[in-house]
Amino acid sequence: MERLEGTWLVAVSAGPDSMALLSMCIENGTACEAAHVNYHHREQADEEESFIRRFCAENNVPLHVLNAPFEYSGNFEAAARTWRYDWFAKTVRENGLRGVLVAHHEDDLLETYFMQEEKNLVPSYYGLKEDMMYKGVLVKRPLLSKTKADLTAYCRAHGIPYYIDHTNNDESLSRNRIRHQIVAPLSRAQRDMVLREIRMKNAVMQERSCRVGALIRDGKAELSAFRRMDEDDRLGLIRKMIEKEKHYSLSFIRQIDGVLMTKNDFDIAVDERHLVQQDGMFFMVIPAEPYSYTFRDKAQLLAFDGAPCFRIDPPCVGVNALSVSEDDFPLTIRNVQKGDCIEMRFGTKKVHRFFIDRHIPLYLRKTWPAVVNREQKIIMIPGLGCDVSHFSVSPDFNVLQLTGSYLK
């Protein structure tokens, strides 16, 4: 392993892989601090923590330990991974470190690839990447060219003690079964053949990513152009647009593809962000929260600095203009709600109907402003106009709907 610049956080479990990684850093002069997570999940967990504390103290390596009670639901391995990587990222940021070093090796890479194949996944990357970002923190895997046997031999040759996690022998777990039944029997020639296959698949994926990425401008892609693409490119473009640090299943990507191919307007939740369309383009946004602002008088309203979804402008005759009297206060500006109606000169108008008639995108409808007087009567909708009682050729102010609260 080559010496790395900067100070790194080394993830240490007490197994031969991570003990070899930590020892290599010490040997080649890579500045490092160690991080150990005690899940209290196995009988020897506390013993392993004590061992790592002694080893780090003897080698003058600063140590960070997470041994708080680990509570989780669902899959243990998935929950544990999120828990430790969240903590790694937090520790790196708090201590000004370069990033995290983890001891994944060639066997881990092959196991991951065979699991992807067994589950018929189309991942963002086949196998394991040497460098990746996790919540803004660099995670580096410098040992991917080493085998499990190489690292165990290194520890033995250098007199480095380590612990064996006997749960790795439990073949009821998919990864352990693949490790023992598929990866372990492979010859060196067979390993090299699989590694070439992985590199070829990643090269194809990288070429597609670059090609479809050229269709995304300022975070937006044209829906009509998307529909002319073949399926593999469409799925690649969706991944390019929605994936940051989290990888989504192929079935989820295909569900999104189905919506984009058949719907001209959509608002698809992708965790805290949404995939939406406007003017024939689709893009990711962080939707604004529901809101409600109440004003006791006209002076307070006119002095209002604005909100993410609307602003108050000087008076100008038009569909955004409104005249009010003292009897309207307290006056509220809130987001449109289901069933909202307004009495216009031509009759009562449902706000939902206005959205449909004007082709207002679904994602904008949820936080479109409505002006409500003290009697809880809607007196104005930006873009539609005011009700019959509040129209004037000399309005008091204008209310404009904004989209600035939606972030890419």
Q: In this predicted model, what pLDDT tens digit does every residue of 148-157 receive, in sequence order?
A: 999 999 999 9
32 and 163 in a single domain? The answer is yes
Residue 281 counted as domain residue: yes
Residue 13 to residue 103: CA distance in whole angstroms = 9
Give residue 71's pLDDT.
Answer: 80
CA 163, 166, 167: angle at the middle one, nearest 5?
125
Answer whether residue 201 is part of any domain.
Answer: no
Same domain, yes or no: 94 and 235:
no
Looking up tokens 């289901």 gives: 338
144-150: Cβ within 8 A, 24+ apart: 144/104, 144/105, 144/106, 144/108, 144/109, 145/106, 146/105, 146/106, 147/105, 147/106, 147/107, 148/16, 148/17, 148/105, 148/106, 148/107, 150/105
Confidence of residue 351 (pLDDT cuts 50, 70, 90): very high
Residues 136 and 234 in one domain: no
Top pLDDT among 245 and 205 is at 205
Other beta carbons within 10 angstroms of residue 328's beta carbon come to 23
Bridge partners of 35?
11, 64
Looking at residues 166-186, what average pLDDT do you find? 85
- My answer on whether 127 and 45 are in the same domain is yes
| Range scoring the smallest mean pLDDT among 50-64, 232-246, 259-273, 360-374 | 232-246
Question: Last residue of some domain: 246, 265, 285?
Answer: 285
pLDDT given at position 312:
95
Domain assignment present for residue 193? The answer is no
Q: How far is CA 199 from CA 108, 109, 172, 203, in A?
A: 15, 12, 29, 6
pLDDT at residue number 243 = 87
State the pLDDT at residue 15: 95
Considering the domain architecture, whether residues 180 and 259 belong to the same structural domain is answered as no
Sign of the four-CA dihedral 215, 220, 225, 228: positive
Q: 389 and 317, same structural domain?
A: yes
- Of the two residues 346 and 182, the one the predictor is more confident about is 182
Residue with tokens 């085998």: 147
Residue 150 lies in a domain: yes
Both 151 and 281 in a single domain? no
Weakest-pLDDT range from 243-252, 267-276, 330-339: 243-252
| 303 and 352 share one domain | yes
Q: Domain residues for 244?
A: 215-285
- Residue 296 predicted with pLDDT over 90: yes
Q: Please name the residues in contact with 145: beta carbons below 8 A apart, sequence gap of 6 or more.
A: 106
Mean pLDDT rounded to a whole number for the chain: 92
pLDDT at position 408 is 43
Give the pTM: 0.70
Give 5-42 pLDDT, tens digit per residue: 999 999 999 999 999 999 999 999 999 999 999 988 88
In a domain, 204, yes or no: no
Tell me, yes or no, whether 277 and 370 share the same domain.
no
> 73 and 159 in one domain?
yes
Q: What is the pLDDT of residue 167?
A: 74
Tell me the per-residue pLDDT of 210-225, one tens digit each, with 9 for 90 and over: 899 899 999 999 999 9
Quote the number of domains for the chain: 3
| Distances, alpha carbon 133 to alpha carbons 124, 141, 206, 250, in Å | 13, 12, 17, 21
Among candidate residues 237, 260, 285, the one where a domain is terminated:
285
- Range list of β-strands (E), 161-295: 220-222, 267-270, 273-278, 281-285, 292-295
Q: Domain containing 49 — which CATH number?
A: 3.40.50.620
Per-residue pLDDT, 4: 96
Write out pLDDT tens, residues 88-97.
999 999 999 9
- pLDDT bracket for residue 307 (50, 70, 90): confident
- Residue 310 and residue 272 share a domain: no
pLDDT at 16: 96
Tell me whether residue 353 is in a domain: yes
Q: Which residues pair with 66 in a beta bridge?
A: 37
Residues near 60 by beta carbon (within 8 Å), at least 6 away in sequence:
none
Q: Tell me if 192 is assigned to some domain.
A: no
pLDDT, position 175:
85
Least confident piece of the model among 76-85, 151-160, 275-284, 365-374 = 76-85
> Mean pLDDT highest for which of 74-78, 123-127, 267-271?
267-271
In terms of domains, do 391 and 351 share one? yes
In a domain, 349, yes or no: yes
| More confident position, 70 or 336 | 336
More confident position, 379 or 345: 379
Q: Which helix (H) or strand (E) holds 256?
A: helix 250-262
* Percent of the chain topping pLDDT 90: 78
